[in-house]
C-alpha cells in the first residue's frame, strides 16, 4: 500500500531530474553497509553488498532500467540479432576509458566475458549455449549460440563486469573498471574508499534505475561496514553516516522524527514464499499442495511479519507492478485463505493426518512470523503441522535432504529474467521437475523479442500455479535512511550514489 507519507518522502528525496544535476562538488558521501564485502570481484561473488559497491567501479554491457529491461551501458545499442536468433552482434561505445587510462575495446569485452563464463554461476550456464565469442573490429563483438537463449541480455546486465584484458587473472589483484568512481583504498572491516574518475564517459539519457546519465557529483564515496542494524540507525541520526542501508522497519519513526535524516522505503525489495517438497513425502501429491494454496491467507502472514502495510504488499504475480514481467496470468488459489475449501480438498485427496514438517528460522524474524500464521491457517483447514524452528545454516543444510522436510520458508529478490527464479531450476530444494514446466520454459528460451518473452512467461506462471511447487506470500519493502541535506537520492535495489549531491 502506497501511503501519502511514503510518496511525499520519495518526492522530496528525488529532487530535480537526473539531467539537471551535473554540478560536481568536493563533498564526501559516507555509506553504512550491512557488512564487509568478501571481495570486489563480482564475477566470483555476486552478492548484494559486492554488487552495491562494484557498480560504481565497474560496468557491464547492459543494465536495468525502471521496468527491469536490459538496456545499453557499455554497449552502444541493443544487439543486432540474426533471423534464426542465434547470432548477436553488439556494438560498443567508443571513447570510453578504463581507470588506468587504457581504451575500452572489443578485446576487453571478449576476455572479460570468457572469464565470467568460466567462474560465475550464471556465466557457466551461458557458456553451455555459446558456440563462439569473437571481436568484430575494435568496437563490436559477436556472440554465436548453439541454441536460442532468451535470458542472454539479462545475464549480461549483472556481474559480467568488463575489465581491461591486460588485468584479467584467475584472482584479481587490481580492480580497474570504466565506472564513475575509482577504487583508491580498501581497509577490510574499516572502509572501501572510492574517488571520482575524472575521465569518466557517461551513457546518455534520462536516469532510469541503473540506466541513463551518470554523474560523479560527490568527490568521494566511503563504504563503511556496520553489521549491527541498530548501530547503523544511531550513526545515521548522529550525522556519522550520509546513508544507512537495511534499517529495521521499527526504526522508521525514530529516523523520521530525528530531524537529522529521512527514512526511505524501497518498494518490492523481494518476496517471501513457502517452498514445497515435490520429491518425497506428503506434498508429492498435487492435490495436497493445492490445498495448502487454498488454506493460506497471504495478507495475514505479511501483516504478522512486517506489522504495517507501508512495508509490504500482497500480489499473486511473481513480479511486482511496474516490472516488465508483472502479469496476473494463471494466478489462482491466492487471496484471503479459505480453510473450509481447503478441508474439502483434503477430504477428496484422502489426507491421512500425516503432519506437515514446516521449517523456518528466527534469524530472519519475518520468516518465523510467517511460519506461525501459516501453521494456524493450515491447522484450521485440517492439516497437522510440525513447525520446526532452526537456525538458517541448519535449514539450508536440511532442505538439501528431501527426507527431512515438507515446506520451508525463504525469500528472494526479483531477478532481471524470470527463468532465474530459484524454483524454476530442477535442482533447487523442492525439486520441481515436470514435463509441463520443461515445455513452458523451452518456449521462453526460444523467445527473442520482449513481447515473445512476456507471452512465454505468462505460460510459465500459469504452470507454476497449477502445479504448486511453492506458495508466494507477498512482496516486502526495504527501509534505508538518508541524511538531511543529501539531495537527488533515488532508491534502487542495489543503492547507487552517482547523481547524488552531498551535504553542503
Residue 183: pLDDT above 60?
yes
Q: Which of 174, 172, 195, 185 is nearest to 102 (CA)?
A: 174
- Dump pLDDT digits (tens) for 191-235: 999 999 999 999 999 999 999 999 999 999 999 999 999 999 999
Domains of the chain, earliest start first: 1-57+179-260+484-504 (3.40.190.10), 59-176 (3.40.190.10), 268-476 (3.10.105.10)
Rounded mean pLDDT of 480-496? Answer: 96
Residue 4: pLDDT above 90?
no
Cα separation values, 364 from 118, 295, 390, 395, 429, Å: 33, 23, 11, 12, 19
Q: Computed from CA positions of residues 61, 415, 247, 43, in that sequence, does the dihedral angle turn out positive or negative?
A: negative
- Dump pLDDT digits (tens) for 117-138: 999 989 999 999 999 999 999 9
The percent of the chain in helix, strand and coil, each rounded to the nearest 5, is 35, 20, 45
pLDDT band (50, 70, 90) for residue 47 = confident
Residue 290 CB neighbour total at 10 angstroms? 19
- For the chain, first and last CA: distance in Å? 34
In whole angstroms, give the CA distance from residue 440 to residue 423: 14
SS3 for 266?
strand
Across 277-311, where does the E strand assignment appear? none
Q: Which of 432, 178, 477 is nearest to 315 (CA)?
A: 477
In whole angstroms, give the CA distance from residue 373 to residue 65: 36
Sort 90 into a burial class: Cβ within 10 Å, 0-12 / 13-18 / 19+: buried
pTM of the shown model: 0.88
Rounded mean pLDDT of 459-466? Answer: 98
The set of residues, in sequence order, having a beta carbon less than 8 Å from that of 273 and lying 6+ positions away, is 409, 410, 411, 412, 423, 470, 471, 472, 473
- Dump pLDDT digits (tens) for 377-412: 999 999 999 999 999 889 999 999 999 999 999 999
Cα separation values, 344 from 291, 349, 381, Å: 9, 9, 9
pLDDT band (50, 70, 90) for residue 22 = low
Q: Are 264 and 481 in contact (CB under 8 A)?
A: yes
DSSP class of 426: T
pLDDT band (50, 70, 90) for residue 6 = very low
Length of the chain: 504
pLDDT in the model for residue 16: 40
Secondary structure (DSSP) of 181-212 = EEEEEEETTTEEEEEE-TT--PPPSS-BTTBS
In whole angstroms, give the CA distance from residue 33 to residue 39: 14
Q: How does the average pLDDT of the chain come out, rounded? A: 93
**Which ranges constitute the DSSP H helices of 307-434?**
339-349, 365-381, 392-398
- Dump pLDDT digits (tens) for 80-112: 999 999 999 999 999 999 999 999 999 999 999
Cα separation values, 424 from 95, 430, 445, 460, 464, Å: 41, 10, 13, 9, 9
Helix axes 365-381, 298-306, angle to 10 degrees: 150
Secondary structure (DSSP) of 25-87 = -S-EEEEEESS--S-S-TTT---HHHHHHHHHH---SEEE-TT--EEESSBSSSPEE-TTS-E
Amino acid at each position: 500500500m502506497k501511503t501519502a507519507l511514503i510518496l511525499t518522502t520519495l518526492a522530496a528525496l528525488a529532487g530535480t531530474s537526473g539531467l539537471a544535476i551535473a554540478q560536481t562538488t568536493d563533498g564526501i558521501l559516507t555509506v553504512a553497509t550491512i557488512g564487509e564485502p568478501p571481495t570486489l570481484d563480482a564475477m566470483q561473488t555476486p552478492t548484494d553488498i559486492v554488487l552495491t559497491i562494484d557498480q560504481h567501479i565497474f560496468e557491464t554491457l547492459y543494465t536495468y532500467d525502471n521496468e527491469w529491461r536490459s538496456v545499453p551501458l557499455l554497449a552502444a545499442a541493443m544487439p543486432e540479432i540474426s533471423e534464426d536468433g542465434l547470432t548477436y552482434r553488439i556494438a560498443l561505445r567508443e571513447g570510453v576509458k578504463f581507470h588506468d587510462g587504457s581504451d575500452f575495446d572489443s578485446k576487453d569485452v571478449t576476455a572479460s566475458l570468457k572469464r565470467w563464463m568460466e567462474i560465475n554461476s550464471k556465466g557457466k550456464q551461458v557458456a553451455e549455449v555459446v558456440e563462439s565469442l569473437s571481436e568484430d573490429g575494435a568496437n563490436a563483438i559477436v556472440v554465436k549460440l548453439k541454441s536460442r537463449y532468451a535470458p542472454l541480455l539479462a545475464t549480461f546486465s549483472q556481474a559480467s563486469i568488463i575489465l581491461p584484458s591486460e588485468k584479467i587473472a584467475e584472482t584479481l589483484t587490481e580492480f580497474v573498471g570504466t565506472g564513475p568512481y575509482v577504487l583508491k583504498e580498501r581497509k577490510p572491516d574499516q572502509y572501501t574508499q572510492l574517488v571520482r574518475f575524472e575521465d569518466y564517459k557517461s551513457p546518455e539519457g534520462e536516469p532510469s534505475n541503473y540506466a541513463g546519465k551518470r554523474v560523479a557529483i560527490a568527490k568521494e564515496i566511503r563504504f563503511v561496514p556496520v553489521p549491527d542494524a541498530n548501530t547503523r540507525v544511531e550513526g545515521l541520526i548522529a550525522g556519522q553516516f550520509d546513508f544507512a542501508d537495511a534499517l529495521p522497519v521499527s526504526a522508521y519513526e525514530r529516523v523520521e522524527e530525528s530531524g537529522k535524516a529521512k527514512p526511505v522505503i524501497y518498494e518490492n525489495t523481494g518476496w517471501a514464499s513457502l517452498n514445497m517438497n515435490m520429491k518425497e513425502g506428503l506434498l508429492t501429491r498435487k492435490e495436497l499442495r493445492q490445498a495448502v494454496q487454498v488454506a493460506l491467507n497471504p495478507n495475514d502472514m505479511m501483516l504478522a511479519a512486517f506489522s504495517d502495510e507501508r512495508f509490504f504488499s500482497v500480489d499473486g504475480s511473481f513480479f511486482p507492478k511496474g516490472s516488465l514481467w508483472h502479469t496476473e496470468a494463471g494466478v489462482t488459489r491466492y487471496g484471503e485463505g479459505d480453510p473450509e475449501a481447503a478441508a474439502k480438498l483434503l477430504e477428496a485427496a484422502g489426507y491421512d493426518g500425516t503432519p506437515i514438517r514446516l521449517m523456518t528460522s528466527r534469524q530472519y524474524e519475518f520468516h518465523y512470523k510467517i511460519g506461525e500464521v501459516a501453521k494456524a491457517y493450515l491447522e484450521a483447514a485440517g492439516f497437522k503441522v510440525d513447525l520446526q524452528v532452526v537456525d538458517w545454516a541448519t535449514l539450508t543444510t536440511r532442505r538439501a535432504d528431501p527426507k527431512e522436510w515438507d515446506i520451508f520458508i525463504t525469500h528472494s529478490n526479483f531477478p532481471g529474467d524470470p527463468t532465474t527464479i530459484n524454483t524454476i531450476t530442477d535442482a533447487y530444494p523442492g525439486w520441481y521437475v515436470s514435463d509441463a514446466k520443461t515445455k513452458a520454459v523451452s518456449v521462453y528460451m526460444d523467445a527473442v523479442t520482449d513481447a515473445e518473452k512476456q507471452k512465454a512467461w505468462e505460460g510459465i506462471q500459469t504452470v507454476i500455479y497449477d502445479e504448486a511447487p511453492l506458495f508466494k506470500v507477498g512482496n516486502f519493502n526495504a527501509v534505508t535512511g538518508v541524511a538531511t541535506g543529501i539531495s537527488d537520492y533515488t532508491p534502487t535495489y542495489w543503492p547507487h550514489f552517482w547523481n547524488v549531491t552531498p551535504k553542503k
